[in-house]
A and B are shown apart, each in its own frame.
Chain A
């Protein structure tokens, strides 16, 4: 059984650019959630995907979008990057539609210059 993996590990972009982050969920999990974690703060919920449909969204603008694929892997896309988007982006997978423990990946560290 493999855990949650994320790619890339680190990424540097400039303001206005677009970025795509990827996540492979743990085997047997059909739900993927994305979080943004600024330095020294707790993770902030961006959105959740369950069986390829968005199943909930936090207080993030539409330039944050996502996809979930038939194998339950997922992508997070951010358009028109801003300096404040610099953070650790975490992906978490879970079963039962996200109503139980979540298994987090190691995260992608995004720096926007």
Chain B
């Protein structure tokens, strides 16, 4: 079965710096990979989706890369702000698994002013 690993330790950075979060996966290459943001006590909110044939995707201050050789995705937030503090979840979908979305454990990001 698919296993997704995200750094379980919180990432603490200074406001204005770039935050980089890592998502590693095992076994089959997913059809596509998604990143979500989750605030305490709330449901995840979709941020970005990147397909297996794409290397990079950008949206405003967010950038996602997808390396199917390394089986890794990197999620970057540039010019980080305290409002970016949250848990970020990576999720993978495989078409041969009934459209099942498999989530990593999430990485908590703390941006200090």
Contacts and interface: CB of A to CB of B under 8 A. Distances in A.
A56 B93 CA distance: 12
Interface stretch (A12-20, A69-77, A78-86, A100-108): A100-108
Interface string B47-74: 0010000000000000000000000000
B99 interface: yes
Interface in B12-41: 31, 34, 36, 41
Nearest to A6: B43
Max chain B C-beta neighbours (<10 A), residue from A43, A56, A92, A98: A43
Given A43-B44, A99-B93, A104-B43, 18 more contacts: A31-B99, A33-B101, A40-B105, A42-B103, A42-B105, A43-B89, A44-B103, A45-B100, A45-B102, A48-B98, A55-B99, A56-B100, A90-B44, A98-B93, A98-B101, A102-B101, A107-B41, A107-B43
Contacts of A99: 31, 93, 95, 99
A43 B42 CA distance: 12
Contacts, number: 64
**Shortest beta-carbon contacts, A-B, top 5:** A56-B98, A104-B43, A42-B103, A101-B46, A98-B99
A98 B64 CA distance: 21
B99 A42 contact: no
Interface range, B side: 20 to 34
Interface of B: 1, 4, 6, 31, 34, 36, 41-46, 49, 89, 91, 93, 95, 97-106
B43 A106 contact: yes
A28 interface: no
Contacts of B100: 45, 48, 56, 58
Contact of B103 (A43, A48, A98): A43
Contact of B99 (A4, A90, A97, A106): A97
